[in-house]
Amino acid sequence: MFHADHSAAAVTAHILVAVLSIGAGAVDAASRVRSRQHGEHFAGLGVPCPWLAPFTGYGLQSRADAMVLIDWHADKGAPILIAEPAPTGAIP
């Protein structure tokens, strides 16, 4: 599964980060109320296609989760997982 030599702790960290993030993303994506709130907020900001913005974020998060979980460009996926919640966390 992992293409580089990793310690047991590194493999465990990859799996835990990805699984926890996948769980959080799945809960957010499954919540219609939360997705609607995000869409309304983006509409208020004048974002074109505001209903699409939350799902674009969910897709980005899912791809980064997969990158970290299977250790395929995990060095690019991890910063996405770190930076992605910042703008969505700012939404009231």
Q: How many residues does the chain have?
A: 92
Q: What is the pLDDT of residues 23-81, one digit of tens each?
A: 877 787 788 888 888 888 888 888 888 888 888 888 888 888 888 888 888 888 888 88
Amino acid 42: pLDDT? 84
Give the separation between CA 79 and CA 21, rounded to whole angstroms. 13
Q: Can you say how many angstroms the Cα of residue 64 is from the centroid of all Cα atoms in its chain?
A: 6
Question: pLDDT category, 90, cuts 50, 70, 90?
Answer: low
Q: What is the pLDDT of residues 6-19, one digit of tens each?
A: 788 888 887 888 88
Copy the structure tokens of residue 67: 């990158």
Amino acid 91: pLDDT? 59
